[in-house]
Structure formats: C-alpha cells, structure tokens
Structure 1
C-alpha cells in the first residue's frame, strides 16, 4: 500500500496494478493505448512498467513531437536516443532511399537486446503515415515492443484482428468497480458496493475524475458521490471549474458555444448535432479529438465526450441556464424514441431530471432496456429521487432488484385470498401497476429476511398473472417474465427448488435475452444443488448459448450459472475446471443475494480437494459479514451448516461437527446426510441408519444427498456385520449415480469400504480418482457422559472439587473420580489442559 497523502500525483494514485490491461500490453508487440485527456493512459503504461512490463527490456520513451516536426526528424531523434542508450552503436542506411525510418528498421532488425518503445502522441505527425510505420516496425523488428499513447484512432477493426496489433480503448481504460474500491481503499476509504457502483457510473470510471473524487472524499471525510449517484456540491464545483479552464484555452475558446450545445448528446453524430442546432459538426469533432476532448468508442467508432467532461459541461449549463440544457436533453429523448432507441431515450430523460417522462419510457420499454443496458438501467433507477418512487412502482421494483438500498416499502399491497379472486383481479384493466407493486413488496420482504411473507405474496401474484394472460393484457405480458424471474429467485432462496425451477422455466420461455440468461443459470443451479448432473449440463449449455452483457452486470448475471458449473465439475471429479470457475466467480459480494450459494460452492470445492482448515474460518467470517447485509435464509443455513460440519469431520474435528449438526433440528436432506455421516464416523452406525430413514428420499428430489444417504446406510450396515442390507444400499446408490451422473458421494466413502462393497455386490460403482477420499473410516471423537459434561462445565468456571460435589449432591471422591475420567478422555494432565481441549472440541458449547 502506498503512503497516504494528497501530495502524490494523480498518475501515482491511479497507477494500480491492472492485470486485465497488463495482459493486453503483454500480448502483442504493438499496443495502442487510446483515450481522451484524463483517461489514465500514462498512468496505465507507467504502472505496467513498474510492475514488470519492461522486465529484460531497454525502455525508450519518445515525447510528443514538437509542432512542424517531420516524420523523418522524429525517427532520426529515436535513432539518436537508441544510440545514447547503447541499444545500437551506429545506424547506416543500406536501402538507398535515404529515410531515417528505413535506417531505423534495418538497424533494429539486427539488434540483440529487447527494446520497449513508448511513443507519446506521435499522431501529431501525419496519423496515417505514422500508423503504417509503427505497424511495419512491429512486423520487421522482432525484438521491439511498441506502445503508442494517443487520442486518435490509428487502426481499424480488421487490422486489430489480423495484423497482431492490440488496442486499449477509452472504455477499456475506465476503472472497474473493483479497481475503484481498491484505489479508495489504498487511501483509507472502505466504500460500500453501492457507493462504488454509483461513483463509477456517475464519473464513468475515468481516471482523472475518479482521482478528483478521491481527493475530494479525503477533504470531506466521506465519499464524494453517494449510493444514488448524487455528487457532493464541492466535487461538482471542482468539475465545473475544470471545464471552465478547458473552455478558456485559446485553442478551444472559439468552439465554446458548440461544445456546450453538443454536450447533452451521449453519442455525437451529424444527426444528433443537428437536433441540437449545430451544423457542419464534423470539423468540430475532429478539432476536439485533436485537443483530447472528444474520443471515439472502440465498438462503433462513434464520437463521445468523456463521461466526466460531459457531466461537468451539463452541470455548467445547469448553473448558467437550467432550462436550456433540460430542453436539449428532452429533444434528444424524443429523437431517440422516434429512432426506436428507448434505452438512449431513458438516459436522456434521466439526465434532464424529467422523471415523469423517464418513468413512462421505462414503463413502456422495460424488458428491452434490461436486455440492452442493465448497467445503465441501474444508474437510471438509482438517480430517481426517493420522493418520486411512489409514482413509479416499476422503477421501485427495478431499484430493489438491482440494488441493496435498504428503503422501507412505500406501499403495502392488499390482495384477495382466493385463486378465483386473484385471477379476476388479473383480468382488470389497471392490474399492471398492482402486480408491479406486489412484486416490489415481495422483493422488499425477501431482502428484509421475511422469507415466509415473501413466498406467500409470490404465490398470490401468480394467479394474477394467469388472469392477465387470459385477458390479453399486453402491459402485464411484457413484465411477466421479469416477475416470474423474481418469484423464482424467492423460491430458490427459500429452498423451494421445484417451484423455483417451474417459474424459471416460464421466464425462460417468454423472456428476452437477460431473463433467459438468468433463468437458465437459475435452473442449472437448482439441479446442481439437487445433484442431477445430467440436467445441470443441459441447462448450462442452454445458458452458454445466450449472449451476455459485458462488465459487472454481465458478471452478476453469471453468478447462478457459475455456481452450478462449479458443483457440476466437482461431481465429475474435474477439480481443475472447478477451481478455474471459482477464480472467475470470486468471493461472495456483499450485494449478492446468492452469496450463500457461492459460499457453499467454495466450501464444497475445499472439502473435495482436501483444503479444509482455512475454509472453516473463512465461511464463519463470511456468514457473519453477510448477516448484516442479507439475512441468512433457513435454506442457506441448512446448506452452510451441513458443509461446515463436513469440513470439520474432514479436518478431524468430530466433536465440533457433532455439536454443530445437533444444534439444528432441520430435516433438510443435506443436513440429514451430514448428521448421519457424523454418527457413522463417530462409531454410531445404528443412529446413522435411523437418521437416513427419517425422510422420504425420492420425494425430496435431492439426488446427491439421496446417494450420500444410501452409501452411509451401506457403510453402517457393513460396520454392523449386515452385509446383505449393505449390498442392497450400495446397489441402489450405484443405480442412482448412473442415471443422474452424480459421482461425488462415492468419494465420501472410505476406499476400503468401497472396495469391499463393490466386490460383494459385483458392481464397481463410479471410478473415484486415486487420492480423492475425503473422510476417514472413523473420526476421533470424545464421548462424555451427561454428568461428566456437568463436571467439566463447572471445572471450566473455576470451581474446586468440594464445591462441585456440594453443587451436584455427591461426594468429593466421586467428583475426583469423574475428573480423572475426563482428563483421561481429553488426554489432559490438569484442569487448564482439559478446559483448553474441551473448548477446541466445542464440548463446552
């Protein structure tokens, strides 16, 4: 961590190690780093070099050429610099054309050292000529790695694909949410995920503006942008001052009016400029690009102002004439709707703070906007003032779905009780608003840990959707897939996986791309939790066939599918793939409702790969952290209790596992399997058999836990000498594994038992890779009688033998005898050792 202090330069503060961009800089011998002023180009290149990008190379930096410099003079200066650095001794033109570039190529093609050439804004020369020369340099000089820093587009899409040239464009340079959080953390600010996302969306993740926000936050003592995207007045003032300084430059002043007129446009074309009253805009665009004030996107080469510059220009316009900027934004919103671009229209309406217009656009085009720009939708719904949310239930629903804002419900929805009355409500004309408010309430209840109420409300919403469908209500039909998606998540979080899968399937059938991706991943996760590997594989293939949005919301949409994929590959003993998927999944984020499934997948991976010690403390810490953010559901509690007990068993902490698993009375299949395993491994086979017969396994739907229970039952019968019943249970387990492709439970049984049962049944079962055994045949376990536990508790409290005797109404000699028995069982020489060991084994819990 760097030393904190405002005296550091922006380049030093922004020089984070950015692995995703470092990989691009390492990948090709010619990389273009392109972006407008303040985009962090120099900071990235400096950070890359500092973190080993130049290792083994001679670094040669070429400063921007002075005005009127020719290409020949530029290359001659490079030759001279290389000569002074000792890379070349002399340079001779052997081609006969007399150009410095030809001499340079011929000389560098023969050098025996690696060179990193960093060229700053060489496009002040003829951009087309210089681009071609750098491409030739990369092709003809294999020991030269060139990085160009520029404001201009140098190479087209085809060149970037075919000529071994890479580009880091302006959107690539933007800080991700993780990078924003890391930057602020390096200087003493631990931002919440909501603030990080809002700060990034408000300022575009651009280096200069993010740095200003960091400095302002240090000065204010709190984040300069709040969780709803509102920037502190002090930050707004600094951004306006920065814009004023840019507009006052002699090279820009003549264009001031045109810049302010076109600032409302998110993407600049001659058409949008004309909507804003600016004609012959191409000259303006090219001039501003030369000044580093305008940039082209990498995807479609559209012109745009950097997000923070546009923010400052709009704020300046609002300060000077609030109505003028608002009118321009509304014109752009109307133009976008006319051009069938409701996503852009929504953003313009939000920029104009025209909340009624924005609400109408969202109401009419919600599903399409979700598909096209989920991140932009997040920004839009966060920008809505709280006072406006009561008027727009759909905005409130989206806000609940995409954020973790802990806002109390605005309306409580009164719905009928009977199916018939609910369906009749669905047939009414104004039901769209009612059902939107109802799903909003259901999500709010879910996020408030009122899971039973959330499920009850979700069940009453579905008949309304049936009635609306039968009545041909198109407004409800457009929203129904998203509503089903939310009811499915509610059921999933509460462990009602059959109902969750049913609603996910309806959402998948009727939904757009976003809904289909989420639904397919949700179905895959449900089957993965149950352990039906064949169905998991099917739905993972379906999910992978759906296109994903880039960025953090693309990652957000992948969470369920990635958890499913981890569990699937563990079931197939493909630990390498599972580990790679876990790396992509990361740790459970604070704002992720599926955090418990992520934690469960990580713990399962640790369990089956033998890394059991660290996850025990990690999962305990993770549960504690997330209780404050998302309350733990009973289903999450079952999953995590079971996997924690199994981690403890695998780590040789059988007493801890026994205490943990018996602290819950849950009859959930995963808990029952973990409880029966604990009983089996601690020498209680009769109890294990009794436990696994407590539930109706086929009806439960949990294939993996069912196979697990059968194998535990087989091992218990084997320990009791009942080979026929052991073989029968083994055969059933093998049959289920064959039909579900779920193999992992066989690694939970000790090798000697597997071998014996396979031979006795003449049925080998799935092949378990060597060294994959997870649990021993028996686990060390300390058994204390009820009276010994009472004595131990009083010893831990510091009571003497005579005091304990008096309290328990027995003789002092009896207590001394029980104390010796306790010490022997705990392998302890004295009270202190006995108490310490008992605490480790959770015998005092």
Structure 2
C-alpha cells in the first residue's frame, strides 16, 4: 500500500524568507538500558524509564520506544494510559525510511472504546483517500472529528498523546478532499495539540501544510506566518513531514519572482511522500511557467498521470491543482489546442476548490484574445462579492486595469492599478505584475503616478517578460484521423492500419497526409513529437 503523509524525521525551516534543512544531533539515549530492562523483565523500572524519556524516545528513538511498548505485558501497558493509547500507533509509524510494512489497521478489544472507534475511522479515511475515494475519506474524517468533539473530557484525557497524530490524518483527508476551510481548522488544532504534547514532527507537517494551503489560496502573509512557526526538528532526509514546508516556501519564493531560490528549495527537498505528488507538480509548474518553460509541460503531465491511478487525479484537490497548472501553462504557451482542453478541465473544477483562481485564469485568457467584455464579466464577480483573497484580488485588479487601459478609460485603469500595486507590495505578490507587458506596465505607472518600488522592479528584471505570441490555431482531427494517429504512434505500417480499420491502404494514405498537414509535420517522428507536446490530440 502507498504511504500516507505521516512518516519519520525531517525538518524544513524558514528563517528570514529562506529555507534551512539540516541534520542535527539527537539526544543520545542508551538503548542498551531498555534492552537490559526487558531482559530482566523489570517492568516497573521500564515504565519509569520510558515515562521519564518519553519526548526523546518519540522524537529520536522510535525503535527503542516500540521495543519497550511491545515487550511490556498488556496488564502493564493498561496501567499507563499513555502507553496503552500509543502502543498500536507507535507500531504503525516507521522508525526510519519512507515506507510502512502495512497501512494502519487498529484491532479493537472486546468492548470498542473511544480510541478503537477513532482508529477505525482514521484507517477508513486514510485507506479511502489513497485510492482516490476522497468523498469517503472526508466522510470518515468528519465522523471522527464529530465523535471526538462529542466525547466527554474524561474519555479523551487518556488518549490525548495520540490525538495530534490522528488529527493530522483527518486534516490530510479534508485537504485532499478539497475541503480547504475545514482542513485548515483541523491542521490548526493538530498543530496546537502537537505543541502541547511535545509532538514536534506532527507540528512540522501541520504548520507546513497550513503554509501551503494559504499560499495556494492567495494568502501569502498567513503562509509566511505559518512557515515561521515550523519547529526545529532533527531528520535524516527520509521523513515525509519536511515536504509541505518546502513546497510552501517554494511557492512563496516564486511569488516574489525569486525563481532560483524556489528551484533550490525544490531540489533540496526530494519527494518522499506518495500523497504530495500533485502539490509538488503544481508548485514546480508554477515556477517553470513564470520562467516561460512550458513546452515540456504536456509530456510531464502525461507521465505523471500514467504513474498514478486515474482516480487520484479525477477529483478533490489533486484534480484542481492539475487543472489549474495545465490552464496556466497552456495560457503562457499561447497554444489554442492545449488551452481549449486545459480550460475545459478547469471548468469542471468546483468553484469552491479553485478559490477564485479559475476566474483569474479565465479573465486573463479573455484578455489574451481581446475578448474584453468576457474578461470584465469574469473579473467583476469575485471583486463585487468581496470574497477574493489578496492574491485573487490583485490578479483581478490587474485584469481590470488592462481592460480599462485598452478601452481608453484611463482614470479607471489608473485606479485599479493603484489598488493592485498596493496589494502586490503588501503581500509580496510580485508575479502578478509579470502579467503585464512592459509597455502596459510603464503606461499604468505613468497614469497612476505610482512608481514601482526598486525591489519589485529588480525582481521583474530577473524573469523574462511573458511572450506575447499569436495564439496557434487549434488542431481538430476527425475521429478517423485520430484512429490512424494512434496506430502510427504504435509503429504500425500502412497495411497493418488498413487491415485493423477495415479500410483500403489508399484511404489510410490520404488520412495520414491530412493529419500530417494539420499537425504541420512531415513524418511519423514529427507526429510523435506533436502528441507528446499536446496529448489532447488523441481525445
């Protein structure tokens, strides 16, 4: 089974806008003492030893802790609420490395208590989300949260040490199920309780996940605040918890147009978890799109989809992230065929999941084709409702500024630009100004009387302006041409294709010539390259 996001030891820390990952020395415990106590069956002494060194054992010596808990007779564990609650979950979390031998399956006792029920719901939730059943994962997480909320204080007191671990799993299910407001509340509670119970690694992932979610939602100030709260945590590079702080930091660096720093963060934080692949792809594509590197995007996306079960990309946050990344890259590439397909996928994303980004991309697409009334309609909704996050509001103000500039409504253009620049400077969303052509930006500066701060101007100078290419015409293949193209990609000869399709070789020759002409290629290899660049040709 794939691993859920809750593995062993890693730290990714942000200080002063940077990321710092490091290997630190851990508190040294004499594991031989635990082995000696177990050999002598000195259970009272073992209980005292583990209780005294609980924090160090859970942080840096998980193997020793598991050995101690497993060796204790059940009656001894039962006499200590912390040990009883932690026993099975400690076996679930690996001591090192990214993989678990099995997914967490709690074995309830004769009378299912609160922990038994919570563990069962947590297992159901994690199992469902790993196979793409995000609605089921969310339902189980919500049931667990409701049960815990309604349980008396006496019942929860005994299991408090493991509640942060459980809360993190519920938050992940809500996040991947695209229930971001609820996920944020769950992560915040997991963080608070993890800090209270000295569970540093859970606090690292909770804070990092909050930072990523706020960065994705267009709320960079909150994202930076949560990155600053990521605790120091020793790690060996194989833990899963470091990844979310790193992805959040890379996104924030990209917003500041510091693409070298963003790429450096991503390079120093390789993928460990099997559940963050769409978040990482979204972040990497965000950075590469700003740099203008979009030609390889379709092939990368095709390979990514092939590497994961289709259900994982068909719903929830993963679907939204891939659709938004695809639309952004296609828009930058000015490829009509890719743009048509990408925006069709984007339209299928639930409005609550895209958090205004869908309207932003639609509006910029309309601007790119001079469909200014359409752009105005797309941009006006979220602004008039007053629900836009700072990132979305800045983008839509930029759209409005361009619309009014092209319509020669200069006062309105200047007004929208002033508001846009105010948000950009306060939130460090320098990438929003990258949407303007250099000529538009210079004109808006003059009209508004607002000069760009030197820091923003210098940041804009480090990235190439967005190419203002004429959109390539969309390629429309007939069903028969698509069938022939699939055969060509498989390396079949004209005779083989004719036999498979029940057509004459002359017809196949004509269809091949027609599709080559539409793809602007002269041979089979060119057709292969065209499909790698635009897989939607086969749809």
Aligned partner of 2:240 in structure 1 is: 556
Question: Which residue is 2:120 aligned to?
Answer: 437
Q: Which secondary structure does the structure 1 equivalent of 2:216 belong to?
A: helix
Q: For the Cα contact (< 8 Å) 2:305–2:313, is it kept in 1?
A: no
Unaligned 5+ runs, structure 2:
9-24, 58-62, 485-512
Residue 338 of structure 2 is aligned to residue 656 of structure 1: yes
In structure 1, the residue matched to 2:280 is: 598
The answer to whether the Cα contact below 8 Å between 1:329 and 1:352 also exists between their aligned partners in 2 is: no
Select the residue among 565, 571, 580 that pairs with 2:249.
565
> Cα offset for 1:568?
0.9
Task: Tell me, yes or no, if the aligned pair for 2:81 and 2:158 is still in contact at 8 Å.
Answer: no
Alignment of 1:501 with 2:220, yes or no, is no
8 Å CA contact 1:603, 1:619 repeated in 2: no
In 2, Cα distance between the equivalents of 1:330 and 1:527?
Answer: 52
For residues 446 and 334 of structure 1, do their structure 2 counterparts lie closer, same or farther at Cα, with a shift above 3 Å needed?
farther
Equivalent position of 1:275 in the other structure: none
Matched, 1:782 2:473: yes
| Corresponding residue of 1:636 | 318
Q: Which residue of 1 aligns with 2:362?
A: 675
Counterpart selection for 1:348 from 46, 63, 67: 67
Alpha carbons 1:485, 1:504 under 8 Å: kept = yes
- Output the aligned Cα RMSD: 4.7
State the secondary structure of the residue aligned to 1:473: helix
| Structure 1 pair 584–507 and aligned structure 2 pair: CA distance change class (3 A) | same
**Alignment-derived partner of residue 507 in structure 2:** none
Match of 1:390 among 90, 94, 107: 107
1: CA distance, partners of 2:191 / 2:120: 22
Change (3 A) 1:520 1:604: same
Contact residue 439 and residue 458 of structure 1 kept, 8 A: yes
Point out the more displaced range, 682-691 or 745-754: 682-691
Any residues of structure 2 matched to 1:765-844 within 5 Å, and which?
765=452, 766-767=456-457, 768-782=459-473
* Separation in 1, partners of 2:334, 2:145: 48
Structure-1 separation of matches of 2:409 and 2:367: 15
How far did 1:537 drift?
A: 1.9
Query: Structure 1 residues 834, 613: closer, same or farther in 2, change over 3 A?
Result: closer
- State which of 186, 195, 204 in structure 2 corresponds to 1:517: 204
Alignment of 1:229-244 (within 5 A): none
Q: Indicate how the Cα distance of structure 1 residues 506 and 747 shifts in structure 2: closer, same or farther if over 3 A, else same.
A: same
Please tell me whether the aligned partners of residues 125 and 137 of structure 2 are also in contact (alpha carbons under 8 angstroms): yes
Residue aligning to 2:268 = 584
1:409-434 C-alpha deviation (Å, 9 max, x unpaired): xx9x9xxxxxxxxxxxxxxxx43332
Aligned residues: 469
1:358/1:640 Cα in 2 relative to 1: closer, same or farther (>3 Å)? farther
User: Shift of the alpha carbon at 1:581?
Assistant: 0.7
Q: TM-score, normalised by structure 2?
A: 0.71
- After superposition, residues 304-383 of structure 1 pair within 5 angstroms as 329=39, 331=41, 335-339=45-49, 340=51, 341=53, 343=57, 346-348=65-67, 364=83, 375-376=94-95, 382=101
Q: Is the 8 A contact 1:563 1:601 kept in 2?
A: yes
Task: Say if 2:304 is the partner of 1:613.
Answer: no
Cα deviation digits, residues 129-151 of structure 1 (max 9, x gap): xxxxxxxxxxxxxxxxxxxxxxx
CA contact (8 A) 2:294 2:329 kept: yes
How far apart in 2 are the matches of 1:737 and 1:489? 30
Q: Is the 8 A contact 2:295 2:333 kept in 1?
A: yes
> Residue 296 of structure 2 aligns to a residue in which SS?
helix
Give CA deviations for 1:52-87 in whole Å, capped at 9, x if unaligned.
Answer: xxxxxxxxxxxxxxxxxxxxxxxxxxxxxxxxxxxx
Q: Is the 8 A contact 2:106 2:116 kept in 1?
A: no
The DSSP-based 3-state class of the residue aligned with 2:240 is: helix
Offset at residue 567 of structure 1 (A): 0.7
Is contact 2:253–2:259 with CA below 8 Å preserved after alignment?
yes
- The more displaced of 722-731 and 829-838 is 829-838
- Pair 761,372 (structure 1): closer, same or farther in 2 beyond 3 Å: farther
Using the size of structure 1 for normalisation, the TM-score is: 0.48
Structure number with greater Rg is 1
Q: Of 475, 483, 487, which aligns to 2:166?
A: 483
**Structure 1: which 5+ runs fail to align?**
1-191, 201-296, 311-324, 394-410, 414-429, 799-818
After TM superposition, the structure 1 stretch with the greater mean CA deviation from structure 2, 755-764 or 342-351, is: 342-351
For 1:90, the equivalent position in structure 2 comes to: none
